Structures are given as structure tokens and as C-alpha cells.
Amino acid sequence: MQNSANRAALSEIQFRFQTSPLLIVNNGHAIQISFPPKETPANTRHET
């Protein structure tokens, strides 16, 4: 099997932890965790 992976120079991963408001609901079957409308979860922001 031939290795087809290419090496690349990657920038360092940067973490920006912050608090995010959550809506937690126990619906009797599962615990559902949602973000309020128009809020961006802290861990989904992507900058290029």
C-alpha cells in the first residue's frame, strides 16, 4: 500500500473558550441541551 499523504505546514490551533447560555430541558425521554435563538455556540466559530 502506497502512502499518499502529503505533509503541510499548519498554523497552531488556538482555543478561545467562553461561556455560552444553554437551555436544558428534560423531556422525559432524554435531556436536551439547546442554544438560545441567534446565539452562536462558543465551539462552532470558525475563522479563516
The whole-number pLDDT of residue 38 equals 65
* Inter-residue contact 28 to 35 (CB < 8 Å): no
pLDDT computed for residue 30 by the predictor: 95
CB-count exposure of residue 15 (10 Å: 0-12, 13-18, 19+)? exposed
Cβ atoms 42, 35 nearer than 8 A:
no
Span 4-26, pLDDT tens digits: 888 899 999 888 777 777 888 99
How far is the C-alpha of 12 from the C-alpha of 34, rounded, in Å? 30
Q: List, for residues 29-46, the tens digit of each pLDDT value.
A: 999 988 776 655 555 555
Judge whether residue 28 has pLDDT over 90.
yes
